[in-house]
Structure 1
């Protein structure tokens, strides 16, 4: 084999492989439609009214809301889009008045001070992360964007832009949702799809029992349950008219929990199950999607505790589907105190320090260049801190991958826009370009470089619609400078142990696993609590796995701080699987077999060993210690 062939056959380093990886899936035509109808009409209305600057602000808000417009239910989108938009409006107001009344030094200190808590909050979850990001971006825009309008008008325009996108999300039907049973309506199609996917995932896990695919299918079931949990956790829409439909969806989700438990126990046993075992969950999935009755469900063989639990769960589901009543187990129970611990913990402190330092440093550099007239006629100094915010956030991907994708996407987007700007009529052609970019944004979100390229085109078009000259060169220069700042800050030593975010997620997963195991071994007969604890354990593990995967794809100098975390998470997953198998067996016989006891002891020893290698992060409750 030649030297070139050997080089080509070598695997790519994780940080480069992550930068080249893109998500796959069907085109989200509903999101594409919303994107096309979001910023473009807002700009047209503002131009007709002679308030182009406010139209630009509204279009920016619609763009940011579109970035947060992810697949899922309408009820979940209210929080996912609305909460960051409110934070963005607050940031725009603060940034506007700070930029008007403070000098460069004082403004830099204010921006740094805002960046610290906004970064720390990002550790609490995806919505909190989007909230912190939008707060900082809007603050930078308010402080540096030259607009003739007073602050309160900017805020109203920002809220109008985000509210318009949210209204489209709530009002527009999903393509194809009106071709089926019209009695179902379309307002809860996202919830129905999410709950139906849970039943399909249960069937897939049953099919994989006793095979090498069981672990992957169990992880897919966890993801489906997480998605359904989020889909049902938003505010109630049309509370009085749709209460029956909502109760039915909650009952159908709750009925899936014992099925998921039984399927996990059967997969843990490592033996194949009869093929007909998966037929029942698939019929339940079809009933959820079509709003139909389940009909007769094929009963599995009752020769083992797991199969008996599956049969009982199918009977329970059939009753719940017919009566439309059941437990309301969809809410993730996270107390404010737990969220505060996450924000103030090691992960939150590390997020906050890096985001605050990077946001403040980029603002200082940008203002120094701006006041020194290094920018020439393109004095968009706020681009630098706004770009740095998206680059420094650890939950948005590995640092090297983010920097590479941001740089490549910005250069591509700026060059594409420069070509369009040379031939398009103004402002009509630019407004059309904004509408096209908004439509492409949901598809481009599958890869950070593609998303960056589309956002770059959209932002540069908005700048020109606002009456400023073409600024492609300035956009490229500021992005490359932001990449350099973020790379430097990302590798600076910080107080405390590196990898705080990963260790915090592992600690939460360990605490949830311990709470679940304790409840099961105590012999408590409260199954609703048990299923809630089981859900929290698997969800915390999924979040830890995501954080570990991102950390492992960092450059070697950063990735080494989380070495061994994946092994700890794997042991915790096996522990939760074993706990589930123990729960099903205790329900059936009232006692554990020697195999269950031996497996718990082995996992106790393995967990202690893995934690020791990792550096022994203290897990809440010290699960399985001694």
Structure 2
């Protein structure tokens, strides 16, 4: 027994083991092949022409392109690769201008870190752009680059162009395929949800569906925002995706059917899968199978929703101005640009992150300016990677960065010690590059371990230090992680007092508004508005779930608080599901709730939201709802959420 207690005390903490657990993800073979060719081919050309340093700069640009190639649709991939490359080239140019400039370089890098951090808070592409702006500024300030001044940025852009060209090779043959595939994937996720209705696996399946719908809408609406006018293909896909929403609502209603009715007949998910095949193939295909006679409000709602979806999928020319576009038209480039600028200049989160990053970069540059650290740019590179805002917890990233760098150095040791420069660099780079896309999807530590030997090999081609790079890079990484932990984590109160409680309270308050909206309008009225609100609410809950998952990787007290409140996130999701299901059942024959019943549930949710903000248990609400009222199940879920939060 004593040995068992000793073993438990020696076990690594849960936040670390959770962070180190590799995520289940398929190997992206096409991305693996592109990474291998785009990073190795420039080295081959540079070696053949006697300019290995030029080849290394082109490969460095290709590395940035490989990291940024995270989209599905080809038009978005052009945007996701090209825009960050321009920022990266600008960073390299600015860094080269202050190379060896002493305290001027410290001031310049600190200012650019502030701008980079603020840019990174706007969105995904801006985040990568801000990252490359700062990273390449650090590289340009720390490494001697060839002349003239325009050549290194041009070579960097050429590397990104290589990745872009390889990415777009299949566009003429596969244009539109990713968009159809992602919408078809949402249909199949709904079919899975119908199979899980009434079973314990329903909630996990519904969360997977939420992610699928978010991905589909993001992909289609981002594409449409860049198109002048309306594309018939995009209108068709959006109409097909919007037609899926009533099926999702019907699935929620089927999940709360009386237990005696058993699971849904398999014809329902089979019909949705047949529609998924039609969407993916781009033609109507065979008619979906016949559905059984409805046995109540839930199956009646499902029959109508699947029939409507089948009509939309088989419709040859959807109306470009159909009311079925439930999310509305996206804003044009002008309004979106103005919103981005306002977010950049007025957002407190933008300034906080920018100042945090600037402080850490400034400290790193001051440290390496005062203390003789060889090739000190690696310290600032480490700080930049650790403090990237959308990689997760700063604390766990610092630990994972150190572990990943150590693993990457183990890979780099035999390469730098035994492999001679020249043509041997080409197959070695081809092999190392395959690890980047293969391991990046597994987690941050795995991505760091894959990128580290590639950057070391490229750095060695520029400064020719060989095996002597290994230990200094490990020390530099540990110094950078220490700076990020001290100045980027411990000195900021928000690191210790996470806002997960406020985020959850906002979600509960929005849920109260959704309950009011769902039951204060007549059946058939304002359906697009309710659909938009429900989609936004599910998206917000998905973001809250992600925030909690990041908080779970923090050490106590943040991680412990997130773990204690984690069941409440699930309880709020159940409330939203039950609200949707009850509304659908009311629209198809079930008794409607009274205004007093709706007001009672809304008050309870608003009280719970306020209690989450203040930390004080809400006053017990009078139980005005009987066991047979229309909102009895919803009332039960709200009481369950309150019990989870305050006992």
Q: Same fold (TM over 0.5)?
A: yes
The answer to whether residue 206 in structure 2 is matched with residue 206 in structure 1 is: no
Greater CA drift, 79-88 or 426-435? 79-88
Query: In angstroms, what is the RMSD of aligned CA positions?
Result: 3.6
Tell me the equivalent position of 1:109. Answer: 107
The answer to whether residue 283 in structure 2 is matched with residue 285 in structure 1 is: no
The answer to whether residue 605 in structure 2 is matched with residue 610 in structure 1 is: no
Does structure 2 conserve the Cα–Cα contact (< 8 Å) formed by 1:96 and 1:143? yes
The answer to whether residue 439 in structure 2 is matched with residue 451 in structure 1 is: no
Larger Rg: 2
Unaligned 5+ runs, structure 2 = 619-637, 639-647
The answer to whether residue 397 in structure 2 is matched with residue 402 in structure 1 is: yes
Q: Take 2:152 and 2:61, find their aligned partners in 1: how far apart are those partners? A: 10
Change (3 A) 1:574 1:245: same
Unaligned 5+ runs, structure 1 = 174-183, 617-623
Q: Take 2:413 and 2:438, find their aligned partners in 1: how far apart are those partners? A: 22
The answer to whether residue 74 in structure 2 is matched with residue 74 in structure 1 is: yes
User: TM-score, normalised on structure 1?
Assistant: 0.84
Tell me the equivalent position of 1:469. Answer: 465
Deviation at 1:449, TM superposition (A): 2.6
Does structure 1 conserve the Cα–Cα contact (< 8 Å) formed by 2:183 and 2:241? yes
Tell me the equivalent position of 1:295. Answer: 287
Does structure 2 conserve the Cα–Cα contact (< 8 Å) formed by 1:197 and 1:285? yes
Q: Take 1:512 and 1:115, find their aligned partners in 2: how far apart are those partners? A: 36
Tell me the equivalent position of 2:382. Answer: 387
Greater CA drift, 258-267 or 516-525? 516-525
Deviation at 1:492, TM superposition (A): 2.8
Q: 2:236 aligns with which of 248, 267, 271?
A: 248
The answer to whether residue 215 in structure 2 is matched with residue 215 in structure 1 is: no
Tell me the equivalent position of 1:355. Answer: 357
SS of equivalent to 2:150: helix
Q: Take 1:577 and 1:519, find their aligned partners in 2: how far apart are those partners? A: 14
The answer to whether residue 314 in structure 2 is matched with residue 322 in structure 1 is: yes
Deviation at 1:562, TM superposition (A): 5.7
SS of equivalent to 1:356: helix
Q: 1:138 aligns with which of 132, 136, 139?
A: 136
The answer to whether residue 165 in structure 2 is matched with residue 167 in structure 1 is: yes
Deviation at 1:37, TM superposition (A): 1.6
Greater CA drift, 192-201 or 103-112? 103-112
Deviation at 1:55, TM superposition (A): 2.7
Tell me the equivalent position of 2:626. Answer: none
Tell me the equivalent position of 2:643. Answer: none
SS of equivalent to 2:531: helix
Deviation at 1:228, TM superposition (A): 1.4
SS of equivalent to 1:72: coil
Q: Take 2:264 and 2:527, find their aligned partners in 1: how far apart are those partners? A: 25
Greater CA drift, 79-88 or 134-143? 79-88
Does structure 2 conserve the Cα–Cα contact (< 8 Å) formed by 1:118 and 1:352? yes
Does structure 2 conserve the Cα–Cα contact (< 8 Å) formed by 1:509 and 1:537? yes
Change (3 A) 1:131 1:146: same
Q: Take 1:430 and 1:615, find their aligned partners in 2: how far apart are those partners? A: 64
Tell me the equivalent position of 2:33. Answer: 33
Deviation at 1:81, TM superposition (A): 2.8
Cα deviation code 1:87-130 (max 9, x no counterpart): 22232232222436xx4323222322222342244344433332
Q: 1:312 aligns with which of 304, 310, 315?
A: 304
Cα deviation code 1:150-209 (max 9, x no counterpart): 343222222222232123222247xxxxxxxxxx94233322222122112112212222
Tell me the equivalent position of 2:551. Answer: 551
SS of equivalent to 2:424: helix
Deviation at 1:511, TM superposition (A): 7.2
Change (3 A) 1:131 1:568: farther
Does structure 1 conserve the Cα–Cα contact (< 8 Å) formed by 2:498 and 2:558? no
Deviation at 1:473, TM superposition (A): 2.0
Q: Take 1:526 and 1:27, find their aligned partners in 2: how far apart are those partners? A: 44
Q: Take 2:616 and 2:79, find their aligned partners in 1: how far apart are those partners? A: 36
Q: Take 1:116 and 1:563, find their aligned partners in 2: how far apart are those partners? A: 33
Does structure 1 conserve the Cα–Cα contact (< 8 Å) formed by 2:192 and 2:269? yes
Does structure 2 conserve the Cα–Cα contact (< 8 Å) formed by 1:268 and 1:578? yes
Tell me the equivalent position of 1:153. Answer: 151
Does structure 2 conserve the Cα–Cα contact (< 8 Å) formed by 1:250 and 1:329? no
Greater CA drift, 598-607 or 302-311? 598-607
The answer to whether residue 181 in structure 2 is matched with residue 193 in structure 1 is: yes
Deviation at 1:558, TM superposition (A): 4.6
The answer to whether residue 250 in structure 2 is matched with residue 262 in structure 1 is: yes
User: TM-score, normalised on structure 2?
Assistant: 0.82
Change (3 A) 1:209 1:155: same
Does structure 2 conserve the Cα–Cα contact (< 8 Å) formed by 1:568 and 1:610? no
Does structure 1 conserve the Cα–Cα contact (< 8 Å) formed by 2:509 and 2:606? no
Does structure 2 conserve the Cα–Cα contact (< 8 Å) formed by 1:75 and 1:231? no
The answer to whether residue 429 in structure 2 is matched with residue 431 in structure 1 is: no
Tell me the equivalent position of 2:15. Answer: 15
Deviation at 1:301, TM superposition (A): 4.2
Does structure 1 conserve the Cα–Cα contact (< 8 Å) formed by 2:516 and 2:602? no
